[in-house]
Structure 1
Amino acid sequence: MGGFSQRKQRRLFGPFVLSLILICAIWGIGFIAFTNYVPRHIQDGESLTDGIVVLTGGTHRLNTGLALLTDQKAEKLLISGVYRGVDLEQLLSLSKSAPRELECCIDIGHEAFDTRGNAKETMQWIKKTGFKSLRLVTANYHMPRSLLEFSFSLPETHIIAHPVFPEHVKIDQWWRWPGTAELLIGEYNKYILVWLRQELARLTDIEFLK
């Protein structure tokens, strides 16, 4: 009986190990593709859009959005995901180069707490403004997941990616930088979860998944 039990365990263990190896291989191939998808440069920095959306997460993003607005790349700017209690004057104080006359063209959103929330907050802004196109400003490592969320929430809006490049994130030769590798692995796993949630929403039409 003992020998039979051991043989049965081996028969079950073999397919499990093979399945695990296959899953890891698929994950690894997808991760390499993801790292190549992370922007290394701005592909379109000149086209005009109706609006600009900055996802909070650093002064470099904010300064980039304000510079684009100053250069009249769009009519209005939305800063999404601002902490409650922080007003526009405080945000502008973070950017010494932001002229005060820009205040009339800037909206701030306090409702978003994550990237999905940013997309939903922007969707409401788009409905209010009637804009048909926007330039999305966020960190380059965050851009793939942001585009996934924004394209899902705003399927009829033309979105131009405008990544910024944090100095501490070394995308080229990322494997040599443990901090960057850990950051990219985390972003990739989040990207997979967002994709799965969206595909499930498309298949089931469950409202809370949207």
Structure 2
Amino acid sequence: MIFALGFVGLSVSFLNFAGTVGASSAPDDPRADAIVVLTGGTERVERAVALLVEGRASRLLISGVHPGTTQQQIATMTSGDLPLFECCVDLDRVALNTTGNALETASWVQEHGFRSLLVVTSAYHLPRASLELAEVLPNVELVPYPVYQPRLDLRSWYRSPKTIRLLLREYVKYTLARLRIVVSRGSGMFSNT
């Protein structure tokens, strides 16, 4: 009985997660002090650079860049202007995962004194990225900006086994991140008493 209730609860939670991801959309007039894009796809970086070119923010952090990748290569890949990269784009080569992206972004945000941040990543990754960033940047306004891959139909996710598997994997990662944060907060409460 408990197992069945747990399964139903997880199923409902997953359906809510998948529905939220599929229904997410970019803000009509996105603006912030700065932009962070979490690497993991060309579309993400291209969209973040376009937002910077449009004047939606004054500076861009590309988090999770491979150590061998240069600004010139990214500028070429995104059809960006190298002088724009030299003045207004920072590359984080340290982060290896979403938690690392959040930590490196927090350091960058604090160094520059930003109070608002456009968060650019794939729509399916946005809930976990936002969760991680909100934990390390509690006083910074996060403006989610989902990027949809053209070959991935997240609105009709239930029609594709490949998309269902992708969302299930991301849901598990998101759930584990939530649990880690809750446990971390709880252990912090007990260590202060």
Shorter-normalised TM-score: what interval? Answer: over 0.9
The answer on 1:100 being equivalent to 2:82 is yes
- AA aligned opposite 1:92: A
Structure 1: runs of 5 or more not aligned: 1-17
| Cα pair distance change 1:126/1:39, threshold 3 Å | farther
What pairs up with 1:29-178 in 2 under 5 angstroms? 29-96=12-79, 98-103=80-85, 104-178=87-161
TM-score after normalising by structure 2: 0.93
Q: Distance in 2 between matches of 1:133 and 1:99?
A: 24
TM-aligned CA deviation for residue 205 of structure 1: 1.4
Equivalent pair of 1:39/1:163 in contact (CA under 8 Å): no
Q: Is the 8 A contact 2:119 2:143 kept in 1?
A: yes
- 1:20 maps to amino acid: F
Greater RCO, CA 8 A, separation 6+: 2
Deviation at 1:48, TM superposition (A): 2.1
Q: Is this contact kept in 2: 1:45–1:162, CA < 8 A? A: no
What CA distance in whole angstroms lies between the structure 1 residues aligned with 2:161 and 2:66? 30
d(CA) in 2 for partners of 1:31, 1:118: 24
- What is the rounded CA distance, in whole Å, between the counterparts of 2:179 and 2:14 in structure 1? 15
Aligned-residue identity in percent: 36
Return the offset for 1:37: 1.6
Q: Would the aligned equivalents of 1:137 and 1:163 in 2 still touch at CA under 8 Å?
A: yes
Unaligned runs of 5+ in 2: none
Aligned twin of 2:11: 28
Amino acid at match of 2:180: R
Structure 1 residue 39, shift from structure 2 partner: 5.0
Deviation of 1:43 (Å)? 4.2
Find the structure with the greater CA-based Rg. 1
TM-score (norm 1): 0.86
Instruction: Indicate conservation of the 8 Å contact 2:71/2:82, yes or no.
Output: no
Of 177, 188, 202 in structure 1, the residue corresponding to residue 171 of structure 2 is: 188
Q: Residue type matched to 2:104 in 1?
A: E
Structure 1 pair 45–55 and aligned structure 2 pair: CA distance change class (3 A): farther
Q: Which amino acid aligns with 2:96?
A: F
Contact 2:61 2:89 survives alignment (8 Å):
yes
Kindly provide the amino acid, as one letter, of the partner of residue 54 in structure 1: V
Q: Give the structure 2 partner of residue 19 of structure 1.
A: 2
